[in-house]
Structure 1
Amino acid sequence: MKKLMLLYTFLCISFLSAQTGTIKGLVVDKQSETPLIGATVELLNTSETKGVITDLDGYFTLENVPLGRQIIRVSYIGFESITLPNIVVTSGKDAVVNVSLTEAFDSLDEVIITSDTNKSRAINKLTSVSARQFSLEEVTRFSGGRSDVGRLAANFAGVSAPDDSRNDVVIRGNSPTGLLWRLEGVPIPSPNHYSTLGTTGGPVSALNPNLLKNSDFITSAFPSEYGNAIGGVFDLGFRKGNKDDYEYTGQVGIFTGIEAMAEGPLGKNNGSFLVAGRYSLV
């Protein structure tokens, strides 16, 4: 009887512990990309106030988070606070969120001056327009996207696709060849299988979205670092593996095929590894 009671207690504890998940990530300065030490990360829309601060490397771990879509707010002295909604928390995999904060500027007393400056232009010359940041969760949630970043972009404003059989990206009527693809800063001609000569699209994407971090899609006013681009820019990057726990992922899809992925800590200096393999069925 005592053994049965111990087994029952263990199962109850395991069941209750499976009802929560973990949100972790990195908080950096958007301009310098240096980690922000002591930034506050708060979990919103919960009955109990829950929050943590970032460590010396800018990392944070928010544990015992209820399952489902959650909202967090990240704040730091001297920087503008940011609220991130629709973070999917599951019990089987940690939710990884990377946050970039922008430095805040205090309002000064009013000063009246006379100038011939063109007031139709912003004072901040680094202001960007027609730029869109997308995450892995958006790519996988998009209906009919086939886990393809190109098909996801076809639903943005000013963007269209010729048909559903290919993922060519047409931005404001420009040719698909005017789209620049970059992966970790390296230009690539076409990130697709069975691509046609003279285009950058194809029927099946060679990019695995599970390996990508938050990336940028720019449709105009490109910064000077992007050359040889007319229509738009897809600036992609690989994410880092989980530096705290070992995680394994298996996935099967009609178009993406069979996929396996493993990630976890590596070494003693906060290193990590991330490996994946995919075999397409198309």
Structure 2
Amino acid sequence: MTRTILITAIAPLSWGTTYLVTSELLPPGRPLLAAVLRALPAGLLLLAITRTLPRGAWWWKSAVLGALNIGVFFALLFIAAYRLPGGVAATMGAIQPLVVALLASRLVGEAITLRRIIAGVAGIGGVALLVLQAQARLDVIGVIAALGGTVSMALGAVLSKRWGRPASGLAVTSWQLIAGGVVLVPVLLLVEGLPTEPPTTTNLLGYAYLTLVGTALAYALWFRGIERLPVTSVSFLGLLSPVVAVLVGFIVLHQTLSIGQLVGVVVVLGALAVVFAARPVLSSSAEGSQSVGARR
């Protein structure tokens, strides 16, 4: 299962660069445009590859998952990215493992263990060190958007685990991306409107990176991990995103990296070690055979 964990980790690693790309390559003040251009092209690309449409109940299930994992999440993500410094915006997702653990205990029967609670609290503490040491202004709307996006994606991840998939992972990913993009289009038209100036080459490079790497590839690997691993454990991998955001800010933007932030990075990595070193992680099929009260 180590290989599956490492492959799944590629998704949050790429998401950690979203904040750098947004602030440095995309046009300012257009979070909804960025969300639409990130989701729809990626979904259509994957649909062209798989040539598979949803059937039956999966039309509405795809719409729900697309709204939670893509539509609502992307809108709030980009609002947070525009209103908060990169490292701060990324660290708001630290509560996701605990939210997922609570939802998963109710919806898919994954036990809330003391080990996971301790690791979740440690993860929050680690990213809090990153935030507190960043000496950055916290925007209320940005913080609310970041936390709202975290809860939306947490619910989407748990429902993805509960409902499984009726087709290939790429096909299901394409349905969600398209559904999420469609949800965002009317919001874009009402709130921001269409752009009045053509995108620059720099803008196009930013959109291309977010579409191909940060969305098509990342989400395909993320949903693959949710299918094969306990969803609560997968959610802890999301803690890698703020670590990458802070390190990229230090390396690329020459932002200050304090001792406190380094301690935060170590704490986050320690939380991941606590979760994944407990014992070999079960696949979804093996995990489903255990009772709700099973201990890790």
The two structures share one fold, judged by TM-score above 0.5: no
Relative CO higher for 1 or 2, CA cutoff 8 Å, sep ≥ 6?
A: 2
For the pair shown, the structure with the greater C-alpha radius of gyration is 1
Structure (1/2) with the larger helix percentage: 2
Structure (1/2) with the larger strand percentage: 1
